[in-house]
Structures are given as structure tokens and as C-alpha cells.
Amino acid sequence: MRIEVFVVECPKETAFLFLHTGSSDACNYCLQRIGLYFYQLMDDEPYELPCHDHCGCSWELILLEGIFSTRKEELANDLAQAVAELETVNADIETCIARIEELTGQVNEALQAQAESLAAAIEWQQKAEELAAEAEALLNGSDEVTDEIQEEIDFLEQQADEVLARAEELQDQADEYGREAERLQAEKEGQDEMKATYELRKTELEKEIADLEDCLELPVIEELAASIAGSRLVLSQ
């Protein structure tokens, strides 16, 4: 799984309100403008004051800090996507945990079966050796190998061969269980690595979500301007 580190860029942005201020005895030209708030992204005056030789008007500059509404929409979308991915990652982690538990049981079962097969193989191998030794003893302990003794020897040797074949079969079975245990263990290790990767992504997503939520707590500049200026707001071109 490829991890992409998401860096939340949320510096405070700025805009400006220029309030045209002046006295109540100003000329009609100025009275039409006094009290208007001019919203601007730069700190350049909307127009030059004073307006005329006898004008007493001036600008009151109000700094607006926060984020713009378009940026807030982008951050809200990013937050929704991060939350959705976090839910998926949490589900993936739970799936890995369940599979790891299942594989752990299967590995233990395979190892137990391997041990039992090996023990049985050793037991059958010993029995084959005992039968072969018994046949050897009959052969060496007789001055004359009669048909009856030979028949007994042949029977013991046949039993020894059958028992030895069973021992080899059990050894092959133990080897198969061993290979299965190795395969399951490798899959379990892969699930462990995948789970660690998901957990790393979960940590990154939780940090990303916290950062986005902090950004979304910032005031929206356009809303600040509207709350200050109300109907007296003028959007500068």
C-alpha cells in the first residue's frame, strides 16, 4: 500500500475593509460615501482621500484575518474524504486482525499435526527396526533354516517393509504439514506488515483530520466583512 503524506496548508489569509469616515456636516458628495465599507484583497485605498480641497474625510482600515469561503469549501471536502478514508482504513485493520487471528490458529494446528506425524513416523520406524531385528535373530539363531522358519522370517520382513512404508508416509505427511505451516506463517507476516501500514496511514489521517478541523475553525473572511459592514458593504472591483 502506497502512503501519501497529506500536508494541510492552512495559513491565515487576509483581506481589508476601508471605511470612509467623515463628519456629519460634510458636503453632499462626501455624505453619499461616508459610512461605506469597501472590501478589498489588497491594502490599496479604493480611491484617493480627501475628495476635494475642503474635504475632511479619511480612511479607517480594518484588517480581516481568516480563510476565504472557497478555501473553506476545499478544506471541508478534504475533511470529508479523510474521514471516509479513515473509516475504510479502520475496517481494513479489523480485517487484518481477524485474518491474523485465523492464521495464527491455522499455523498452530499445522505445527501440531506436523509434530504428531513426526512422532508417529518415529514410532513406526522403530517398530520396523524391531521387526527387522526379530527376523535377523531368527535367521542367525537357527542352525538350519527350515521352511517354517523361513516362512516366519519372510512374514516378519514383509511386516517390517509395510511398517517402514507407513513410517515414510507419515514423514512425508509431516513434511507437508511443515510446508503448510511455513506458507501460513508467511501469509500471517504479510498480514502483520499490511496491518502496520494501515495503522501508519490511520495515524496520518487522524493528524490530517485534526489539522483540517483546526483550519475550519478559522473565521471566513467574507462572513467577517458582511458582519461588520452589513448593508453598507461595497465590493471593490
Contact between 236 and 127 (Cβ < 8 Å): no
Average pLDDT over residues 70-82: 95
pLDDT at 141 over 80: no
Share of the chain above pLDDT 70, in %: 95
pLDDT of residue 235: 84
pLDDT of residue 200: 96
Share of the chain above pLDDT 90, in %: 72
pLDDT of residue 8: 58
Q: How confident is the model at residue 178 (pLDDT cuts 50, 70, 90)?
A: very high
Query: How large is the greatest C-alpha to C-alpha distance in the chain, in angstroms?
Result: 150
* Cα 4 from Cα 205, distance rounded (Å): 10
Average pLDDT over residues 166-191: 95
Indicate the pTM of the whole model: 0.72
**Cell triple for residue 64?**
480581516
Lowest-confidence pick of 71-85, 104-118, 148-162? 148-162
pLDDT at 236 over 80: no
| 3-state class percentages of the chain: helix first, strand second, coil last, to nearest 5 | 65, 10, 20
219 preceded by a cis bond (ω within 30 of 0): no
Residue-wise pLDDT tens digits, 120-140: 999 999 998 998 888 888 877
Burial class (CB in 10 A: 0-12, 13-18, 19+), 53: exposed
Contact between 171 and 118 (Cβ < 8 Å): yes
Q: How far is C-alpha 205 from the chain's CA centre?
A: 8
Domain ranges of the chain: 10-67+218-237, 83-217
Average pLDDT over residues 152-170: 89
Contact between 67 and 12 (Cβ < 8 Å): yes
Average pLDDT over residues 44-62: 91
Residue-wise pLDDT tens digits, 200-209: 999 999 999 9
